[in-house]
Structure 1
Amino acid sequence: MASHMQTLTQKASRLIALALFPDTCLGCRRHVSERGVLCAECWNGMHFVAEPLCAITGEPFQHDFGGNMVSAAAIANPPAYRRARAAVLHTGVARQLAQRLKYGDQGELAPWMARWMVRAAGAMMSESDVVVPVPLHWRRYLLRRYNQSAELGRAVAQQAGLDFAPEALLRVKPTRRQVGLSAAERRRNVRGAFRVPPEKEIAVRGRRVLVVDDVLTTGSTIDAAAKALLRAGASSIDILAFSRVVPHFVARR
């Protein structure tokens, strides 16, 4: 009897949810067959990051030269993290989703975006112990009311069955927005910006940390975050983001 009532309750909840939040495209909100998918037009506007790409930074290459390729930037300035991956290019529909999550207070997008991130992560998921999101400075958090990277990180951790430590990393320096800064200015901007509180070191010490962010640009922010986590005793750092900015890249179809 109890299980029957539970089934009826679940069906009723589903009907109410469908009435209040009909199954619409994540991108344009047209009607689709099921929740959490894109319509054909928006799907064609998504550009998923795929091989060939840099084995370290995850930056996609325009041409496949064979072998385990590493970008010139990663060779010239090896990052503190082990690998970085992103699900999609930061353009078109993906850019709209990222902006709606970040500025539109639409946290309900995070679980659907996280599905693509988990797929893009590949072996990184099984080689990680704990998920740590890139934090906001407390002043910006008060303005935004929530951290979009934490929403993505929570969803990734739940889907992958990993521990989630949203307070393991703090942003202790109120950095400028990175948009419009040169690569050198970005590095200076985030230098010393992150710290692991002593009471939170247990969450990362000796563990393989997966750092989650919403958008990757030059990599300065995630590199600074990785260095702070390594100083706190993390054994390795991998990076996972929803989208990646790649100027002048021509997406393949």
Structure 2
Amino acid sequence: MALPPRCLACQEPLAPPGGLCPDCWPMVRFLSEPLCERCGIPLEAPGQDICGHCVAEPPAYDRARAVFAYEDGSRELVLRLKHADALAGVPVLARWMARPGADMLRQADWLVPVPLHWRRLFQRRYNQSAELARALARIAGVPALPDGLVRVRKTPSQGGLSRRRRRANVLGAFAVADRHRHRIDGRRVIVVDDVMTTGATAEACATALLAAGASGVDVLCLARVEAGTPLP
């Protein structure tokens, strides 16, 4: 007998297809226009196309989009996906991601998740970003390449690091797997991740993909940290 779906945040039983319960839904702030055309951060007012940070330091990727803001109302949802084996909700989360990512998904050739180092993957048993990429592939019809990127060195956890130290921590940490370089060359790629904090990981992944010949890179995440929010 199949168990009913549960709220992705509080685990209360729900009617199919699942998602969030009526109490948790208003606690999650879904991102909407106006957004920076590059990094996807919410803008204060219409009429502004690109945020000041992207004007001053244009990212290596072309566009980044996320479903909701990473803050108190959504934190438990993300942490359950990352650390609590809460994979039953991945199809719902991927459907949410497909909406803000619709334009980039129509143009993409590959979905490539942010990789875990093999030691961390062994401990956790799964890569949540790869699970999201696989589910997105089924929804959008864009093939996923779960091992397209590899970590060439183990990096300390980004948790608790400043923005500057996060960037230094992942600098040169990723590379395209040799056996997939011919698949990336000349193709447009979406990097899939669960949370975008400072953008350091997305930047490092995009840099590695472009170095391998990707024609362009976009980033699609479940959640993102906004300016002024304490870094997780």
Q: Which residue of 2 aligns with 1:6?
A: none
Q: Which residue of 2 aligns with 1:122?
A: 102
Mark the CA change 1:176 to 1:22 in structure 2 (over 3 Å): closer, same or farther: same
Match of 1:197 among 163, 177, 185: 177
Counterpart mapping for 1:48-87 below 5 A: 48-61=30-43, 63-67=44-48, 69-87=49-67
Distance apart, 1:153 and its partner CA: 0.8
Distance apart, 1:26 and its partner CA: 2.4
Q: Which residue of 2 aligns with 1:25?
A: 7
SS in 2 for 1:25: coil
Distance (Å, rounded) in 1 between the aligned partners of 2:77 and 2:151: 25
Q: Which residue of 2 aligns with 1:231?
A: 211
Distance (Å, rounded) in 2 between the aligned partners of 1:80 and 1:166: 21
Contact preservation (8 Å) 2:19, 2:89:
no
Mark the CA change 1:23 to 1:137 in structure 2 (over 3 Å): closer, same or farther: closer
Distance (Å, rounded) in 2 between the aligned partners of 1:56 and 1:231: 20
Contact preservation (8 Å) 2:111, 2:144:
yes
Match of 1:107 among 57, 81, 87: 87
Q: Which residue of 2 aligns with 1:167?
A: 147
Q: Which residue of 2 aligns with 1:95?
A: 75
Distance apart, 1:247 and its partner CA: 4.1
Distance apart, 1:90 and its partner CA: 0.8
Counterpart mapping for 1:132-151 below 5 A: 132-151=112-131
| Root mean square deviation of aligned Cα | 1.4
Distance (Å, rounded) in 1 between the aligned partners of 2:73 and 2:134: 22
Distance apart, 1:103 and its partner CA: 0.5
Equivalent AA in structure 1 for residue 174 of structure 2: F
Contact preservation (8 Å) 1:130, 1:208:
yes
Q: Which residue of 2 aligns with 1:41?
A: 23
| Structure holding more helix per residue | 1
SS in 2 for 1:146: coil
Distance (Å, rounded) in 2 between the aligned partners of 1:76 and 1:183: 16
Instruction: Point out where structure 2 has 5 or more consecutive residues left out of the alignment.
Output: none
The count of aligned residue pairs is: 229
Runs of 4+ in 1 over 4 A off after TM superposition: none
Counterpart mapping for 1:7-26 below 5 A: 16-17=1-2, 21-26=3-8
Q: Answer with 1 or 2: which has the greater Rg.
A: 1
Distance apart, 1:239 and its partner CA: 0.2
Distance (Å, rounded) in 2 between the aligned partners of 1:170 and 1:32: 37
Contact preservation (8 Å) 2:187, 2:215:
yes
- The answer on 1:188 being equivalent to 2:168 is yes
- The answer on 1:241 being equivalent to 2:221 is yes
Instruction: Point out where structure 1 has 5 or more consecutive residues left out of the alignment.
Output: 1-15
Q: TM-score, normalised by structure 1?
A: 0.86
SS in 2 for 1:163: coil
Contact preservation (8 Å) 1:121, 1:240:
yes
Distance (Å, rounded) in 2 between the aligned partners of 1:179 and 1:73: 22
